[in-house]
Structure 1
Amino acid sequence: MTAIARPAAEDVDLASPAAAAAALRTFWRLAEAWGLSVPEQMALLGVGRSRLYQWKQGRVGALDRHVLERLSYLFGIYAALRLLLPEPGRADAWLRRPNAAPLFNGQSALQRMLGGQVADLYVVRQYLDAQRGGKS
């Protein structure tokens, strides 16, 4: 039996239009699961309305490294929530509930993530990884 050759991770061009389209398809599913509004999607991706709508219409070119970084954190947050709270409804609702942890200061994780800075996504991802008892 012959093994199917798969490209090494280093050989995959994450900035290619095909990879960008796949990443955005995943983001649209995440946005639906989390019930994100258009302004929330824009803030999380760090893009304007016209760019967001271009992408939604399938007009996707390569994504810049800033968007790729944001997507990476968002996908990590989604995955960590699924591990911590396996019931999808609970995991998705956690994002919008006020949180007493010092990092959130009574706000929800989503409110923190919507702060506009990549660092806001990073700290939520790190918080969830710490709750899992590990690192990303």
Structure 2
Amino acid sequence: MVEDDNDQYRRKLEEWVAAHPGIPTGSDILQSGDFEILAGFVLRVVGAAGLASPIAWVDQRAVIDINETPPANPIMRIFAGLARAWSLSPSEKVGLLGVISYEDLETLNDLRIEQVPTAIAQRLIAILEIFKAINILLPVHSRADGWIRRENAGELFRGRTPLDVMTRDIEGLQSVQGYLQAEVSL
């Protein structure tokens, strides 16, 4: 993806936001049905986590692998960067996105942005908002990236890691998202 695409997605999001009252949520964006607006929203969320250029952030975390083709759309490309930053295993990636197999995940990487299923887009938005909140609460990226693997004694986690809760099901993912958003709001 070229930077011009990023600018186009951001511009389209700005136009959509200007035409709608209030601060848009990931659900509002999904209901628009426009995946270019969704791409702009994804770029905005990752940028709000303190990363000036989300795609540059992903590329900095790239692991050189001649067998790996970068995902075709910005949402999956940013997820690939998060997966590297969080050192996610194939089964953890599958669990976070709620797909059946690693092959399904690879299929998602090849889709154009408008072909990404809504259920997967919802999960990706929750994951990105979790990422954003973690990086706001823990501005040192290495600490933020490691948080999901640390056991947590809080009521939501009960000694499990946030990643354990997030990979359980969509409700677990949304619970961690809500927990972190509440922490950011304090």
What TM-score do the two structures reach when normalised by structure 2? 0.62
Higher RCO (CA-CA < 8 Å; seq separation 6+): 1
**Residue type matched to 1:9 in 2?**
W
Quote the residue 1:38 is aligned against.
90
Once the 2 structures are TM-superposed, how far is the Cα of residue 9 of structure 1 from its aligned partner? 3.0
**Residue type matched to 2:144 in 1?**
A
| Percent of aligned pairs sharing the same letter | 34
Distance 2:75 2:91 in 1: 19
Distance 1:35 1:100 in 2: 22
Given the alignment, which residue of 156, 162, 165 partners 1:109? 162
Is contact 1:73-1:121 (8 Å) kept? yes
Which structure has greater helix proportion?
2
Quote the residue 1:120 is aligned against.
172
Distance 1:9 1:51 in 2: 31
1:124 is paired with a residue whose SS is helix
Deviations 1:75-133 (A, max 9, x none): 00000000000001111111111101000011010010010x21111110110111112
What TM-score do the two structures reach when normalised by structure 1? 0.83
Deviations 1:13-66 (A, max 9, x none): 2279x957110001000100000011100110111221212334xx21411110
Is contact 2:149-2:162 (8 Å) kept? yes
Aligned length: 127
Aligned ranges 1:1-136 → 2 under 5 Å: 6-7=11-12, 8-9=15-16, 13-14=34-35, 19=39, 21-47=73-99, 48-56=101-109, 59-61=110-112, 62-115=115-168, 117-133=169-185
Gaps of 5+ in 1: none
Distance 1:79 1:103 in 2: 19
> Following superposition, which runs of at least 4 residues in structure 1 exceed 4 angstroms of deviation?
none
Quote the residue 2:27 is aligned against.
none
1:6 is paired with a residue whose SS is helix
